[in-house]
Structure 1
Amino acid sequence: MPRIRNDPNFNICLDYASINFANTRAQLINENVDEEQAIQLLRNIWQANNETDKVLWQQQLAEDREQREHAQRIQEDEQERVKQERIDEEDAARKEERKKNKHKYIPILDTGIPDEPSVTPCSMTDAMVLSTLADGSTAWISSASARNAKSVINDENLPFEEFCQACPRFLVALEEANWPEDRIRMMALFWRNIQVHKYRSLRDPIAQKTLLVYQAEQRRRWHVAAKSSTGPYNISTVNEKVLADTREKVYWEERLKRDNARDYKVSL
């Protein structure tokens, strides 16, 4: 059936009394039908046809609406299929990630930094360290790479203010690397407690150096423990005993550097 292009509800009956329809009227006029009756008959025929078109128009609108809704359902079903397919792929990838890196998802133990580092069979070479590159950017690299790369500054050797600026960047990097939320929160609190510790406000230059060395060492040790039978403990709270031991070590290391520099000058 041909489509109706215009809404018949807005159609206006033709002027069958005009000269344009004189021939049509003449064909209807006889001894029982005069001209006025012929005009009315034409009007009635037009009205009946228009009423039929109105019914067909509504049917056409309903069919068009049904086709649009059907097409929309197909599109929505396809979008849902693609979405579910993506979810399934991501879920499979997460399961594979958890399978390959079980240590990454082991719950953090409700214990803090131990007073003495645990002895573990794995080495420190694969621990990730927070370092600044020569161009000023920051990156996670293995501790082995840090020792071998001349263009890398270990975070314990950064000025304290640069360390503070780097921490938020690394939290973003952790999120982009899909670290579990509990570990991101722990690291955020860990660095916050380092930055607000009373050592930072002391005039003693050894104090801030101690904080940097402490956070670098404890983070590396945490990575090692997380991959060992010890499991990941919570490093967010500063262990004051370990910090005091670190300060003692930093003091003697700095004193040894000064003594060596003095002896070198004397030898010259």
Structure 2
Amino acid sequence: RLVADPNLQQCPDFLSAVFQACRTPLLNHTMDDAQAANTLQDFWMATNTALKVQWQAQLDANTLETADQQCLLDEATEQHLLTQKAHDAILAEEDRKKNCIHLIPIPDHLCPKWATDEVLVADFALCKLDKAQFVELYYWTNKGLADAKMNYRTSDDDSMVATAGIDGSTTWISASAARPAAGVIPDHLLSSLDFSRAVPHLIASLKQCGWPNSRVIMLANFFSALMLHKY
């Protein structure tokens, strides 16, 4: 294997005294020093030409080997990326299953408008909304709103009762906010008419309680899908 480029080599001066020992074996009655030097030069040129061919073949082999190594490296890198992508997908799927609530997409639609008429909702229901707790739709049906209006400012409304806050601390709220209404109808037993009348009032209450707009829209779309479902 050549270690130097023969294209960079210069033909030596074979007439110089340094090459006298090389010329001497070639001298005879038909060849003088100049002719011997020319013969040595011809030999050198032929050898250099062969070395140039060998050098070029060596360069071509190096280029091919480098290309093959790069190809192997690219394949290994691509395989690593595919493996990493598959691993990330598995982790993402596991995270999605563990935190499915956090990853629910929220449609970016226009915010629903409040109900046209302002209504009086039971303090108990509004307190539940403030705490983001479950509360029946009954409180926003015509009957639930009528009950809230009828029981508004009863003798117990000014009294206070202790209750546990979100952080576990004790807070005081009005008795009406701590007392559920009598005869509450579960959501799954509401008629379609009561359900459709309650939803707009509930959406209005959510807005009034300061719920994030994205959550209000999400619930509005959810209830809309229920009301429009063919079943």
TM-score (norm 1): 0.43
Higher fraction of helix: 1
What's the TM-score once normalised by structure 2's chain length? 0.49
